[in-house]
Amino acid sequence: MNLQIFSNRNHNWASDASPLLKPGGETNSESGLGLVDYIEVLNEWDNTWSGSSVKFTPDSYAVCLKVCYDAIKAADPTMGILMGGLSRMNIHLIQQVIKAWEIRYGQFPKDIIINYHRYMHNGLSGGRRTQGILPESRPFGILDQIHDMDTLGRDWVITEFGWDSDSTSLQRTPILFESDGKTKMSAEKSKGTLLVRSALLYATTDRCKMAVFYHIRNENNEGKGYLYASSGIFSRSGASYNPTEAYWPVKEFLDKVGDCKLPATLVSAVSPYQVKFVKGSKKVIATWTDNGPVTYTEE
């Protein structure tokens, strides 16, 4: 059985984006009870990619989910449970699972959180994928995702999204420009900026409970590059983890709005995009254009 665990222990809503590092780059680690917040039941069980020997229908997955749900809740009634992340957003498939559960077992539990993955790339509209695209791109972008997922009337998470800074990747990062509109960002900084722009938009719905990207994934696939091989914001060298340029836009995002109230308010859904955050009397507005960085203005 494939069960994945998620933890936001000792973190606020946004800070799970950066592992806690010791001086020198070694990671802090914890062991023991009480450290897991969510368990995901299977991963990409819809199996739209090749290689898996196990295939599920909505009905068989509903049975699997019920067995795991009962076992997990018997062991820890407070444990959060995520539906296995779909390899792509598929509202109809989610509805089929819920219907199959309710035919067999009655009402679908409100504490099972819907889960999907979405990598923004130019193959979403058909044809071959060759590169990543902007998170605001229509009709598959984040605002469209929010609209479609919120129609389910249930809490949901996205547990994989992002871009790859390797120039040979089929998910390679679109290159952005600095605030002067002329100087190109590095691929790493562009990647970090797009992760932040995504998080800013996901923050505008109270139904999205978690948005997860790879913290540390920079093995580079032996220099060949493929899909997500360089999609992390840290590079790894033995036991040490060092921030790449992608980390710094994420850190700025956390510093500026990481302790603010959710959901945020979408002020503008077209370029220049704007999202407003509030903490007490403080108001912070994040602003960006299609090809530029995020700026923060405090009111």
The identity of residue 211, as a single letter, is: A
Tens digits of per-residue pLDDT, 137-178?
999 999 999 999 999 999 999 999 999 998 888 889 999 999
pLDDT at 217 over 70: no
Cβ within 8 Å of residue 175, ≥6 positions away: 184, 185, 187, 190
Q: How far apart are CA 201 and CA 294, in angstroms?
A: 12
Tokens matching residue 27: 């990671």
3-class DSSP assignment, residue 66: helix
What are the residues facing 296 on neighbouring strands?
286
Supply the pTM of this predicted model: 0.89
Q: What is the end-to-end Cα distance of the chain in Å, rounded?
A: 50
Closest by alpha carbon to 202, among 160, 245, 230?
160
Stronger pLDDT, 141 or 9, i.e. the higher one: 141
What whole-number percentage of the chain has pLDDT above 90?
65
- Are 146 and 158 a contacting pair, CB within 8 Å? no
The 10s digit of each residue's pLDDT in 17-40 is 444 444 444 555 666 667 788 999
Neighbours of 263 (CB within 10 A): 14
Sequence-distant (≥ 6) Cβ neighbours of residue 113 within 8 angstroms: 38, 80, 81, 82, 83, 154, 155, 156, 157, 209
Give pLDDT tens digits for 26-85.
555 666 667 788 999 998 898 766 666 677 999 999 999 999 999 999 999 999 999 999
By the 8 A CB rule, do 259 and 12 touch?
yes
